[in-house]
Amino acid sequence: MAAPTYSAGSLGNVINAITVAKGANSAALVDLSTVLGGALLCKILTGSAVITAAVTFGCYRVTGATATGKTTLSAGAAATATSLTVGSASGIGKNAVIGVVKAVGLVGELVTVSNVSGTTLTVSPIINAYSANDLVFLIEQTPSGGLVAPGASWVANTEYSTTIYPPAAWLWIIAAKNTDATNSAIVTVTLDKNPTFS
């Protein structure tokens, strides 16, 4: 996973040219809590093997947390793991989708919780490896900050883009989901406008 050039509340790449495999997702924290607004430029780049289904970008409002997360991982987890150990599972329920992001870089993924036992979450297989103290976010289950999909049909080695405008004064998880059943796509999300409150 490429490290983004984004830091909370600043302009720059939120997701920086990450390859999202078929059926997978990539997600990142976007902090608009102290700005008047933000425009997220959502881009996909097809490869020589062309996608035939959309890559969707959704903005999910973070609930009950600050930019440091609702809770943190209390132990690391390898890629493909199906359990996460958290400092507190308070508020995390069965069948909830949560955001898990690295503390450094603020990029990660959405996972679905299938069971909660104490502080252990059984989740869909994770895509990335995570370390203790990485961040866990409770999010709304429907992307109220917008849902977009660049392009309607695609050709090889071509970039497609569109913009999403989540409301200001909130923390958001932006997620890129590749719905294609066969091929990957490279995704980038850039925060390109953020006038600050005065």
* pLDDT level of residue 193 (50, 70, 90 thresholds): low
State residue 9's pLDDT score.
45
The per-residue pLDDT for range 11-65, each reduced to its tens digit, is: 578 899 999 999 999 999 998 888 777 889 999 999 999 999 999 999 999 997 7
Domain coordinates of the chain in residue numbers? Answer: 12-193
Helices (H), the chain: none
Nearest Cα to Cα of residue 29 among 77, 71, 66: 66
The per-residue pLDDT for range 127-177, each reduced to its tens digit, is: 999 999 999 999 999 999 999 999 999 999 999 999 999 998 889 999 999
3-state helix, strand, coil in the chain (%, to 5): 0, 50, 50
State residue 194's pLDDT score.
54
- CA dist 183 and 150 (Å) reads 16
State residue 198's pLDDT score.
45
Q: Which CATH superfamily hosts domain 12-193? A: GOLD domain (2.60.120.680)
Q: Three-state SS for 116?
A: strand
The per-residue pLDDT for range 104-133, each reduced to its tens digit, is: 888 999 999 999 999 999 999 999 999 999
**What does each C-alpha distance from 44 to 11, 16, 57, 68, 136 come to in angstroms?**
19, 11, 10, 28, 26
Q: Three-state SS for 165?
A: coil
The per-residue pLDDT for range 53-90, each reduced to its tens digit, is: 999 999 999 997 777 778 999 999 999 999 999 999 99
State residue 10's pLDDT score.
52
Query: For 180-193, what is the mean pLDDT?
Result: 91
State residue 88's pLDDT score.
94
State residue 5's pLDDT score.
40
